[in-house]
């Protein structure tokens, strides 16, 4: 329990972009998708908001897509993220590789993060691996933080459009001790 509280404090000290809100498919060239969502942690009694985000994605051409996010908790922290996705395979199911980079500002520490991701499945149901590499320091460079978290996730696209994207993520440094994150996104486009 003590390690779970430590992990929770690390994330709440500056909340990373925790949810994916995308399938392994890429948008056709020139088409875009925009949405907003939230990520939550649950314990035995309550749900706690981890962050909110506004995101957009745009098809760049054959097998390529780019995206951007603004995320955080208003008045506590905020970040901006850019990412690029390449579709590796389209038959018999979709597989894409995605890399995101973000800058996150909090009251005490400024973070830079990398998000390598592999997404598999279909346009409706998907899952995969997502890592979070985080490095940060305070303004005086007296406090420095660096770590890597692994994550696995599953999600589903509900509705014909606009639509919801419920997701469940498990992030960990040690597989026995981790965080379960619930995401709920709403998208249109």
Model confidence, pTM: 0.85
- Six-digit token pair at 86? 């390449």
**Domain 2-188 bears CATH identifier 2.40.160:** yes
Give residue 42's pLDDT: 74
Give residue 157's pLDDT: 95
Give residue 59's pLDDT: 97
Q: Do 11 and 166 meet the contact criterion of CB atoms below 8 Å apart?
A: no
Could you list the mean pLDDT of each consecutive 10-residue stretch along the chain, which spans 189 residues?
A: 42 68 95 95 79 95 96 81 97 96 88 96 97 91 89 95 94 87 93
Give residue 108's pLDDT: 83
Tell me the C-alpha to C-alpha distance, in Å, between residue 17 and each of 69, 138, 183.
8, 20, 10
Query: Nearest CA to 62 among 96, 22, 110?
Result: 96
Who's near 4: CB < 8 A, 6+ residues apart?
177, 178, 179
Give residue 106's pLDDT: 83
Give residue 7's pLDDT: 42
Q: Where are the alpha helices (DSSP H) in 35-175?
A: none
Give residue 170's pLDDT: 94
Give residue 12's pLDDT: 42
């Amino acid at each position: 329990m003590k390690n779970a509280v430590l992990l929770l404090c690390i994330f709440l000290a500056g909340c990373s972009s925790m949810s994916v809100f995308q399938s392994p498919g890429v948008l056709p060239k020139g088409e875009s998708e925009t949405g907003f969502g939230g990520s939550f942690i649950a314990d035995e009694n309550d749900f706690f908001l981890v962050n909110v985000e506004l995101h957009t994605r745009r098809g760049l051409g054959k097998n390529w897509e780019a995206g951007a996010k603004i995320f955080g908790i208003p008045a506590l922290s905020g970040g901006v993220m850019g990412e690029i996705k390449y579709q590796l395979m389209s038959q018999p199911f979709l597989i894409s590789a995605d890399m995101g980079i973000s800058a996150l500002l909090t009251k005490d520490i400024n973070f830079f993060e990398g998000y390598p991701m592999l997404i598999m499945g279909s346009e409706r149901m998907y899952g995969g691996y997502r890592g979070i590499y985080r490095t940060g320091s305070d303004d005086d460079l007296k406090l420095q933080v660096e770590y890597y978290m692994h994550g696995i996730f599953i999600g589903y696209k509900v509705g014909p459009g606009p639509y919801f994207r419920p997701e469940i993520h498990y992030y960990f440094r040690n597989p026995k001790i981790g965080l379960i994150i619930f995401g709920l996104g709403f998208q249109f486009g």
